[in-house]
Amino acid sequence: MFKGKTAIVTGSAKGIGYGIALLLAKGGANVVMGDFDAVTNENAAKEIEKQTKAKCFAVACDVSKKSDVNDLIRSAIDKFGSLDILVNNAGIYPFKPFMDLTEEDWDKVIDINLKSVFLCSQAAAKAMKDGSKIVSISSIAAFVGFEGLTHYCATKGGINGFTRALALELAPRKINVNAVAPGSIDTPGSSGVSDEQVKAMNQAIPWKRMGTGEDIANAVAYLVSSGADYVTGQVIVVDGGWTLR
């Protein structure tokens, strides 16, 4: 499906990002994996190469820094000659009550979750040919409030607005810009959730289970495929029906 295409996935060392990188590699894409955790990311790239026989390349990258982002894009071009797909997945969600948030707490989440989407999208768009694809990972937190995550919710709402506006600006070049908004997903980042909390979350989800990284990867794979060439500026919610309540 993606043979001959080159994709960058940020926050790729584990969780949703790893699942996306794996599925794109299975589809034949050359995958550049950008993550702050250099060792875990390098191991993840090797594991994906072993599983898929695709070409994977790990790049240590702080996506909140323009210089690192420029290096990431340049590495993809130097390694594979082109850039066709960008998946903005990197993000953090440190729980903290609003009244306890410091300016530093706020800035860190804004920089990693939202500023990075601007930096990566701009740098990628400059390097991409017409007809390329950009997908950002949003969240149902853009539509539903979560206590202790005001900073996180703000970034995901920002991603949705950014996606719609950028889709208009890049439409003349036929570059599709979309987002996927996951619900509750079973990833290493949710390992601290108790069994009781998982049970309560599952009860709130019409499908009675948490989502998986593969669920999100499948939505991304659709949006970066030729089958979604006429889809742009959209946010696809993948949450097992949670937000329908």
At 79-118, the pLDDT tens digits run: 999 999 999 999 999 999 999 999 999 999 999 999 999 9
At 34-43, the pLDDT tens digits run: 999 999 999 9
Distance of CA 179 to the CA centre of its chain: 8
Residues tagged active-site: 152
Q: What is the CA radius of gyration of the chain?
A: 17
Would you place residue 14 in the very low, low, confident or very high pLDDT band (cuts 50, 70, 90)?
very high
At 176-214, the pLDDT tens digits run: 999 999 999 987 655 556 778 778 888 889 999 999 999
pTM, 2 dp: 0.96
Mean pLDDT across the chain: 95
Secondary structure E strands in the chain:
6-10, 30-35, 56-60, 85-88, 133-137, 176-182, 235-238
At 138-181, the pLDDT tens digits run: 999 999 999 999 999 999 999 999 999 999 999 999 999 999 99
At 59-77, the pLDDT tens digits run: 999 999 999 999 999 999 9
- Measured CA to CA in angstroms, residue 124 lies from 7, 79, 98, 128, 243 at distances of 10, 15, 34, 6, 32
Superfamily in which the 6-237 domain is placed by CATH: NAD(P)-binding Rossmann-like Domain (3.40.50.720)
Buried-exposed string 198-231: b where 16+ CB fall within 10 A, e elsewhere: eeebeeebeeeebbebebbbbbbbebbbeebeeb
Tokens 């903290």, located at residue: 96
Supply angle C-alpha 32, 222, 61, rounded to 5: 20
